[in-house]
Structure 1
Amino acid sequence: MEQQIRTLTARLLASRSLPRTDALVRRALVDEAFRVDLDARLAAVGLQLIDNPYAAHVAVALTADVHEPVFGATREYAASNLGLTRDQLALLVVIWALIILPKRERQVNRQKLADDGQSDMFGKDGPLEHGEEVSGAIVEASLLADFAPVLGHKTYVQGKLLSRLAQLGFIERKGGMILEGPLLDVLLDYRTLADRIIYGTLGEVLAQAGHPPPARDAFTAPEPDDADAEEDD
């Protein structure tokens, strides 16, 4: 077990994220003793495993007590410990809202992208889906048409903003489409962002348009039940 923990720790540090389907990741998610040892190994160097059951990947991040010692000396930390600029952060939140909010609704309702919710009467008893089954894509040209005038211009958004988000692993760009990257759902806190977007910014936009705000629990993603927890067995 020692060698497997060393291997998994090294791979997490080298890759920043790993899919939940990976054999050692799966063991970390279901084997309590293995997870305890892994957490201890990571904690010894100020790291923790980030595991969001709704995300298709796991990742490592700094523990709260080392944020300031590691990032406090740089000016960028005031906005982002990844050094993202304000316009990069703004676009990241927009993309997160366009991809992750509908994805989470599909996951909670056990719906796939091509499912209208009526094809399987037992769908809500099915396993929690990840990946392309539930995660949609954005047409890059449409995103540019909507937001490039606000964030600068098309070349700037493509070359400086989208390319940086792709480099960091938040998004993937394929064939003119923007897809969810391995870190988009696992590093951005859904409960914090969803609340601020849906009942904050989006609520204000709907109110200005004369529409009622969404119900308070409309997009609340509950903790996965026992069936979801056993999914990784």
Structure 2
Amino acid sequence: MDNALSILSARLIAHRFIPRNDPLARRALVDEDFRRSLDHRLAEVGLVLLENPYAEYLAVALADDMNAFVFGDGDTWLSNNMGLPRDAIALLVVLWARIILPKRERQIARAEKEREGQSDMFGAEKPLAQGEDVSVGIPEDALYADFREKLGGKTRMNTNLGQLARLGFIERRNKVILEGPLLDLMLDYASLAPRVIEGALGEVLKRRAADAAPE
């Protein structure tokens, strides 16, 4: 086990994320003793494992109590520890709301439907649905049209999109923005979703959906 722990820990730290279907990643998700040892090993260097039942990747992040020691006493780490400017953070939230939020709602609905149809006594312990409802890409031109006036203009947005892509939050292919490995892991659905749905961004997204609906 010790060698496997070393390999998995090193890969997570070096690559920041690994696919969920990787053999060692799968072992960390199903083997309680292995997962406990992995959590302990990461904690020894101030890290925590990031995973959720719907995400296609596992990742590592800095433990909350390490922020001040690593990033000092400045204000940057209070909002994020990747050095992102405010408009980039705002853009990241918009992308999360446009890509992850609808995908997660479909996944949850599918999981609930499957559980309602299960008749075996261990049905509730089966893994949640994942990977079947893929996220939908966003055309860059559509994003610019909707948000460039609010997020610093097209040039500034393009710069921030490049930074988010380098960090692994998104992928850009043929002028379409797609979900990156970290988009579904680094932002907490449980705390962010209600704020988006009930807040101003939720109203903006609802209006856009209404405008795009066929007559």
What secondary structure is seen at the aligned counterpart in 1 of 2:87?
helix
Q: Does 1:105 align with 2:111?
A: no
Q: In the superposition, relative to structure 1, how do residues 109 and 64 fare at CA in structure 2: closer, same or farther (>3 Å)?
A: same
Shift of 1:95: 0.3
Number of the residue aligned with 1:179: 178
Following superposition, the deviation at residue 37 of structure 1 comes to 1.0
Are 2:34 and 1:38 aligned?
no
The one-letter code matched in structure 1 to 2:175 is G
Amino acid at match of 1:150: K
Instruction: State the secondary structure of the residue aligned to 2:199.
Output: helix
1:209-228 deviation per Cα after TM superposition (whole angstroms, max 9, x unaligned)? xx9xxxxxxxxxxxxxxxxx
The 8 Å contact of residues 53 and 130 in structure 2, kept in 1 or not, is answered as: no
* Structure 1 residue 106: Cα displacement: 1.1
Residue matched to 1:80? 80
Cα contact 1:109–1:124 (8 A) shared by 2:
no
For 1:54-203, list aligned pairs within 5 A. 54-110=54-110, 128-130=129-131, 133-158=133-158, 160-202=159-201
Q: Which amino acid aligns with 1:128?
A: A
- Provide the C-alpha distance between the structure 2 equivalents of 1:99 and 1:23, rounded to a whole number of angstroms: 27
More helix by share: 2
Give CA deviations for 1:21-52 in whole Å, capped at 9, x if unaligned.
11100000000111111111101111111111
1:205–1:92 distance in 2 versus 1, CA, 3 Å: closer
1:79–1:85 CA contact under 8 A, matched in 2: no
Shift of 1:74: 3.8
Structure 1: where are the runs of 5+ without partners?
A: 112-120, 212-233
Distance 1:83 1:93 in 2: 15
Q: Give the 3 Å change call, closer, same or farther, for CA 151–46 of structure 1 in structure 2.
A: same
Q: CA RMSD in A?
A: 2.5
Deviation at 1:78, TM superposition (A): 3.3
Specify whether residues 207 and 182 from structure 1 end up closer, same or farther in structure 2 by C-alpha distance, changes over 3 A only: closer
Relative distance call for 1:24 and 1:207 in structure 2 (3 A) is closer
Contact 1:107 1:134 in 2 (8 A): no
C-alpha distance in 1, partners of 2:117/2:140? 35
TM norm structure 2: 0.84
Query: Mean alpha-carbon deviation: is it higher for 167-176 or for 70-79?
Result: 70-79
Q: 1:95 to 1:40 in 2, by over 3 A?
A: same
After superposition, the C-alpha distances for 1:70-124 in whole angstroms (9 at most, x for unaligned) are: 123344223321110000000000000000110011101229xxxxxxxxx9697
| Identical aligned residues as a percent | 53
- Return the letter of the residue paired with 1:141: D
Please say if residues 107 and 128 of structure 1, whose CA atoms lie closer than 8 Å, have aligned partners that are also in contact: yes
- What amino acid maps onto 1:65 in structure 2? D
Q: Are 1:171 and 1:178, in contact at CA under 8 Å, matched by a contact in 2?
A: yes
Aligned length: 198
Q: CA deviation at 1:153?
A: 2.2
Q: Which amino acid aligns with 1:199?
A: E
Deviation readout 1:118-142 (Å, 9 max, x if unpaired): xxx96975961227x4211111110
